[in-house]
Amino acid sequence: MSSPKVIAVFGATGAQSGSVVQSLLKNRSGAFAIRGITRNTSSDKAKALSEQGVEMMQADGLVKDQIYKALQGAWGVFVNTNSDDPAIGQPDGPSETDLGKIIIDAAAEAGVQHLVYSGMASASETTNGAVPNKSFDEKHAVGEYAKTKSFTSVAIVSPGWYLENHLSEQLAPLFGGFPFSPDEEGYLTLKCPRWGGSEEIPFISIGDDYGDIVHGVFLSPEVYNGQLIQAVSRTATATQLVEAFQKTTGKKTRFTPLEDWRSFETYGDRGLELVKYMFGFCQYSGGLYYGVPNSTALASQLKSRAQEAQGKDGGLITLDGFFAQYFST
């Protein structure tokens, strides 16, 4: 029997990478061994992963020698760089592009064959420079850089709008209070800029689907070489989102659009500035978050393959199903 193929997961204690770890751990074939890479192997999350059988290794993404060592012997690697990481994006400091290139270079030099990166389409290219978005453009640059290296395959698994954004009471006031705080008329009102085009937003449940989509890629990575894969659970309008919440909970909801995306309040927060400009480039491009129309077709296929590898039979989560997990009584 051949030894399991080592898949290293960079930032294993984070939301995206954590979902990848959990999906791969459920693979019943024994084909993969999971190695988690994190800055702090003493954290509670890192210890919990170790107890689940994940080989945890310490490495800082900005220190190439550490990443190279952590990737020795890895067959595949999943990489997500956090745009909100305080270690990057500061004046005169390393950028997200710098971080990504360090990790990519270390992975290539370590002999990793298959790289899956959580990248994005370029907002600048999508809008011909009219509405750039620093995070999207930098992640796109990292993905393109990876394609120039010696990997057997490079796949970009690009997450849509997190459904989990609507589970945070801290974020709710930014979106009109939905789905926690009723407005003065008793409605749970989602308030945000229009998406543009058909108004259909590519929603992804990170916990339910993202990890399975990446898992599906690792089952046949050469097939997806060079592709940008839309990691999307459902495409739906903001109105359909709140209607699904109302159907699940029985609470009155509505969507009230902000007509000017520039009026989206960011309070000077870097992460929220990226969100504001996401709405901007989507409106300008006619809703083309990925530079092309939304599609769940490939995500659905990859989800099914991962579910089969786990001995399950299920598809991408619905909006009703997502809200039922957290809000049904």
238-280 pLDDT, tens digit per residue, is 999 999 999 999 999 999 999 899 999 998 888 899 999 999 9
The CA-based angle 113-110-224, given to 5 degrees, is 20
> Is it the case that residue 1 has pLDDT exceeding 80?
no
CA-CA distances (angstroms) from residue 324 to 12, 75, 220, 318, 319?
Answer: 27, 38, 33, 10, 8
The CA distance from 93 to 52, in Å, is 36
Helices (H), 154-257: 211-219, 238-249
Pairwise CA distance, residues 201 & 197, whole Å: 10
ω into 179 cis (within 30 of 0): yes
Burial category of 188 from C-beta neighbours within 10 Å (exposed 0-12, middle 13-18, buried 19 and up): buried
β-strand pairing of 201-204 with 114-117: unpaired
pLDDT (tens digit per residue) in 177-212 = 999 999 999 999 999 999 999 999 999 999 999 999
The residues facing 58 across adjacent strands are 38
Crossing angle for the helix pair 297-309 and 211-219, to the nearest 10 degrees: 80
Task: Decide: 183 and 41 in contact? Cβ < 8 Å.
Answer: no
pLDDT of residue 86: 80
pTM: 0.96
Tens of pLDDT, residue by residue over 98-112, are 999 999 999 999 999
State how far the Cα of 23 lies from the Cα of 17, in Å rounded to an integer. Answer: 10
Give me the DSSP letters along 237-262.
-HHHHHHHHHHHH---EEEEEES-GG
> pLDDT confidence of 2, banded at 50, 70, 90?
confident
| Predicted pLDDT at 135 | 93
- State the amino acid at position 238 in one-letter form: A
Residue 155: predicted pLDDT:
98
- Provide Rg for the chain, Cα atoms: 20
